[in-house]
Amino acid sequence: MESSLPDLEAILLVGGRGTRLHPLTLGTPKPLLPTAGVPFLAHQLARARAAGVRRIVFATSYKAAMFEPVFGDGAELGLSLEYMTEETPLGTGGAIRNAAQALGSGPSDPVLVLNGDVLSGHDIGEQVRLHLARRAAVTLHLTEVEDPARFGCVPTDDDGRVTAFLEKTPNPVTNRINAGCYVFTRSVIDQIPRDEVVSVERETFPGLIESGQPVLGYATRTYWLDVGTPAAFVQGSRDLVLGRLESPALPGPTGEFLALPGSSVSPEAKVRDGTSVCAGATVDAGATVSGSVLCEGAVVEGGAVVTDSVLGRGARVRTGAVVSDAVLGDGAVVGPGNELRAGVRVWPGVELPERSIRYSSDA
């Protein structure tokens, strides 16, 4: 990616509780969940690095202490990383304000802000260059989606200026939505109240528009996915493994599936559709696994079928069980004969006993 953005600084919002991804996020914050074999954030960090970002401040809150042991000072990634923690969550705006204390940027410098749960193929450098050329207060990445009624939408005028932040409605006026990647002029961040709970989406951006400050939209139709739900999370991991979004952070060559060193996949198992198998995870002969994420130590026994699902650390699907579009918490066990489908979630450590169907004539 071309880059003329030396020393660009960024803030990464990673303090949310990730409740829509329960029970996976009970033990691991969403940005650290294994996605195509590496913590989700590794993909974002690599793309930011490729766009010219060199210094990133993590805005942490929920399970804040878990981030630094994974990414350290960032030297291995060619980045300099800082960690700023909110004692109590301050919302997206409050988090940006708090993290900005660790920035070195001057008042007129651009600062990139990224939601820590978005996979995006857009050109970050182009977004920053638009921001600088137009001397905007904030430049928002907008993505065009087919089903805008599921989101709040963000209309712009002919000049690309954002005119409103509209709540979810059955008849949205545009198919452009907030994609969770912003370029702020540093002095605008400094206007956000300090140590207060503030939402950029509900307070900061509407306030800037109302006061006539230039808030720009940078609209694209490139790959974009918010991985906040289980279905989106497995889709993101699958898309990375299948190469639908390029990521410099992929841990090795991929094909139909990705098996990390230390995993065990039987040649007599069917593993496909972008499945990733983490270290210590096992797929036995005769098992079928499609489009799924198997976290460390997860096991799929022979004859079991796992589709579009996430198996938490040490979770086990026993012979003959079927798990489809489901989430198993860490250490959960699905006994033989069970069929879990359509959004079922099994809490960590829960064991579903063997199920056999006995008809009265069998008795």
Contact range with ligand GTP by CB under 6 A, out of 56-64, 124-132, 163-171, 286-294 = 56-64
Q: Cβ atoms within 10 A of the Cβ of 267, count?
A: 6
As a whole number of angstroms, the distance between CA 60 and CA 203 comes to: 21
- Choice between 17 and 186, CB closer to ligand GTP: 17
Binding-site member from 18, 37, 110, 320 for ligand GTP (CB under 6 A): 18
Is residue 13 a contact point for ligand GTP (CB under 6 A)?
Answer: yes
- Choice between 22 and 244, CB closer to ligand GTP: 22
Q: Cβ atoms within 10 A of the Cβ of 325, count?
A: 17
Shortest Å, Cβ 145 to ligand GTP: 16
As a whole number of angstroms, the distance between CA 214 and CA 208 comes to: 8
In the region spanning residues 123 to 162, those forming contacts with ligand GTP, defined by CB under 6 A, are none
- Choice between 230 and 314, CB closer to ligand GTP: 230
- Choice between 132 and 344, CB closer to ligand GTP: 344
What's 14's DSSP letter? -
**Under 8 Å CB-to-CB from 283, ≥6 apart: which residues?**
264, 265, 266, 269, 271, 277, 289, 294, 299, 300
Shortest Å, Cβ 90 to ligand GTP: 5
As a whole number of angstroms, the distance between CA 29 and CA 64 comes to: 9
- Choice between 115 and 156, CB closer to ligand GTP: 115
Residue window 36-55: x/- pattern of binding to ligand GTP, with contact defined by CB under 6 A: --------------------
**Under 8 Å CB-to-CB from 83, ≥6 apart: which residues?**
57, 58, 60, 64, 67, 68
Binding-site member from 41, 90, 294, 326 for ligand GTP (CB under 6 A): 90
User: Are the CB atoms for 264 and 279 separated by under 8 Å?
Assistant: no
**Under 8 Å CB-to-CB from 109, ≥6 apart: which residues?**
9, 185, 186
Residue window 216-245: x/- pattern of binding to ligand GTP, with contact defined by CB under 6 A: ------------x-----------------
As a whole number of angstroms, the distance between CA 301 and CA 70 comes to: 30
Binding-site member from 23, 52, 91, 110 for ligand GTP (CB under 6 A): 91
Shortest Å, Cβ 347 to ligand GTP: 17
Interface residues toward ligand GTP, by CB under 6 A: 13-20, 30, 59-61, 86, 89-92, 95, 115-117, 228
